Structure 1
Amino acid sequence: MGKEYLKLLLLLLFLLHHVDSASIIKHLPGFEGPLPFELETGYIGIGEAEEVQLFYYFIKSERNPAEDPLLLWLSGGPGCSSLSAFLLENGPLTIKLDGYNGGIPSLVSSTYSWTNVIANVIYLDQPVGSGFSFSKTPRVDIPSDTGEAKRVHEFLQKQLFKKSQKGYVLGNPITSNGSPINYRIPFSHGMALISDELYEV
């Protein structure tokens, strides 16, 4: 399956190479007919001179986009494109492997898409260098969780509607094989998920 995924990724890179800002994508190679959902892709410039360009895929909820929450999906890394989640985990399309014999793999609608049941989803290629995200200048800072968090925060400030609901979901969030349970409460407090009063109890 790696070759099929790579071929599709290269074809998408060719098609999206000249995307400078938000574009509505109505057709994708390997999918018959127009897409049955709204797909927006593009770059958001980050930093004072917008030297970092973060690439995203935004899919509106297929239920009620105005009322459904917005979910930001980060595939993690270092270096994993969110295209993998879009096509292989919870996106509205998946790669059809049955009958594949080379060339561009076929794409089919997925019955497991989160946009079908719960949310609008932004898939973000992050950290810089993942997927289609890139930097226009040599990086002078050492990559860090703090630096990447600041970039994602700026992306959200530039991309989002102020009225969107806030929240988060973590998939496989273990950061230590030791005792991560001891960090849950301080982490939740530090992320403003629980109040000072509840934290003191």
Structure 2
Amino acid sequence: MPEQLWLPGLEAPPTLTDGLFFAVFPDTKTAAGIAKLAQQLCGEARTRSKPLAAGRLHTTLLHLGNFAGGLPQHKVDAAKRAASSISMAPFTVEFDAVANFGKKPRPGPMVLTGDEGVVGLHALHDALERALTHVGFWESPVTARSYEPHVTLAYGMPPADKRPVEPVCWNVREFGLIHSLIGRTRHIALERWPLSGGES
């Protein structure tokens, strides 16, 4: 059997195994209510898609990257330094609509979204982005990225127009740095920080 030729620059990219992100989580009671809503919406759509389990429901604040072969410790340490500098009072979040983030006609994730009710999430996102820049987390200048707070309810849902739902609210009293085991549906909280004090 002839040997395969190896050409520089043509090797397969490494498989991404670990993700890192900041997130907030609903309290247990609210998460159970969201999971029930997701179950109902999946049933209405008559799809094989399964709603996310209550324990996986969250709102991503800032995605910090996906990596191969584990998380780089210097990235984790920098993210923790940035998070430790945040000073912000607790706030209430409200999601009052459901939408599909897919591109028609393809299926996509079904999510909870909000307008005025998610301004606190925008403020916390912006504060974290500034703090990460201050500690040198980014290896190159970061351009402004759009951020749309949401809670993913289910993946692979058929296209659907945005529509209102009974508002889902909870008090955000902390945020966490999360290690995602890509493809293994597991999230590990590396550390959590309480919200206390004024705006940063």
Normalising by structure 2, we get a TM-score of 0.26
User: Which structure carries more relative contact order (alpha carbon 8 Å, separation 6+)?
Assistant: 2
Instruction: Pick the structure with more strand per residue.
Output: 2
